[in-house]
Amino acid sequence: MFNIKEELKKLPEKPGVYIMRDKNDNILYVGKAVVLKNRVKHYFSKTNKTARIEKMVSLIDHFEYIVTDNEVEALILECNLIKKNMPKFNVLLKDDKTYPYIKIDIKSDYPNIFITRRILNDGAKYFGPYANSGSAKKMLNFIKERFQIRQCRKFKNNQRACLNYHIKKCLAPCMGYVSKEEYRKQIDQIIMLLEGKTQDIIKQLDKEIIELADKREYEKAAILRDKRIAIERVSEKQKVSNINEKTIDVIGIAKNELFICIEIFFVRNSKMVGREHYFFENSNQLTENETLSEFIKQYYINKVDLPSKIMLPEEIEDIELIQKLLSDKMERKIEFKVPHKGEKLRFIEMANNNARITLNNRTKEKEDIVLKLKEILKLDRLPRKIECFDISNLAGEYMVAGMCVAKDRSYK
């Protein structure tokens, strides 16, 4: 039989991961520790604990642990175990969907451009993430409309040019009508566009327009002029702020009794290119800080495309460790910052405000009904499971009953 007091004495003074289990051997919680002995003993001490931790501790029947060589290894293992087992008392990043990127296979002689949801270590350039496939498709359609790049996925030499060549949407590299250098010039401009360096493209186009006009090639000059105007318009639409950071994620958070919402703004080259939000059920009365800390670990540790800076609304636990881990992984500096003034603080407030609006839109109807029920029935907390019975009979005989159950997904 597992004796918690005796097992606590056996805990090593080493870094690692601990796993709390209930009497049915279900995993309740996974956590990491710099010193396992100190961390795990803390749960069973008489010091003040939150209602959530008190509830978890009351359900613990036994625990186990895995010793690691250092705290970084413990952090990675913790994230992997949480993702695999989805413990009830951990903050769970359930949404596993991937987001669209625009990919350019720059290693090809005549690169193609397309949308993908998988980032591979294949030497290609990836731009994004975009908030949804619609915004990515819109940018890709603009590129195909204004740049004469190939649109076939499988490149091969043909006996005749396709329709795109005849309607001037492709330079027909498959027919040898354009050199690699000339085609590459277009690809370089597209890369600058996706990186937000629109002023550099416009300068190039201005120079080419003047050269073509001097040669009296007015039709070609007009095509470049139209491209220039279109790029300027796209650039204006992308601008969201005069924030001077090149590549950042801005994170906001909002909370009510039912859910916690985390909102992310993706800023690339001083322009906001997309946003995304995540919801967490607040059945265990999570604090914003612990939700934010767990989200950061689960969301960023396994990502292959990271910004140079991540702006947070408040300081979180293990921030220096996470920062070091991500920097080592990307082989460049990844910073976490909590702004306190100026334009960066305004951007955080904007993310927080959007998180509140997103949260309210999702929960308003459900929240109103459940809160009203709590008030009418004078409940101490929000109801998580409701059972309704209906009994019917035929003239006092053939009695039957039915029960309908409505419960929160988090209720077990």
For residues 324, 326, 332, 335, the Cα torsion angle rounded to the nearest 10 degrees is -70
What is the mean pLDDT of the segment spanning 326-334? 87
pLDDT the model gives residue 265: 86
Q: Higher confidence at residue 70 or residue 234?
A: 70
pLDDT the model gives residue 311: 93
pLDDT the model gives residue 384: 75
Question: What confidence tier does 363 reach under pLDDT thresholds 50, 70, 90?
Answer: low
CA distances from 357 to 130, 310, 315, 368 (A): 21, 22, 23, 16
- What is the enclosing helix (H) or strand (E) of 262? strand 259-268
Q: Higher confidence at residue 152 or residue 249?
A: 249
pTM of the model: 0.58
Reported as a single tens digit per residue, the pLDDT across 251-296 is 999 988 778 899 998 877 666 667 788 888 776 677 888 889 888 9
Question: What confidence tier does 231 reach under pLDDT thresholds 50, 70, 90?
Answer: confident
Based on the number of CB atoms within 10 Å of its own CB, is 282 exposed (0-12), middle (13-18) or buried (19 or more)? buried
Kindly report the number of other CB atoms within 10 A of residue 345's CB atom.
14
Question: What confidence tier does 409 reach under pLDDT thresholds 50, 70, 90?
Answer: low
pLDDT the model gives residue 337: 92
Reading the block at residue 312, the tokens are: 């947070």
The answer on pLDDT for 242 being more than 50 is no
Question: How many percent of the chain have pLDDT more than 70?
Answer: 87
List, in order of start, the domains of the chain with CATH numbers.
4-85 (3.40.1440.10), 101-195 (no CATH), 247-371 (3.30.420)
The answer on pLDDT for 113 being more than 80 is yes
The answer on pLDDT for 211 being more than 70 is yes
Cross-sheet strand order for the sheet of 247-255: 271-281, 259-268, 247-255, 309-311, 335-337
Question: What confidence tier does 358 reach under pLDDT thresholds 50, 70, 90?
Answer: confident
> What are the DSSP calls for 126-170, one per residue?
EE---SSHHHHHHHHHHHHHHS-----SS----SS--HHHHTTS-
Q: Higher confidence at residue 199 or residue 314?
A: 314
Question: What confidence tier does 364 reach under pLDDT thresholds 50, 70, 90?
Answer: low
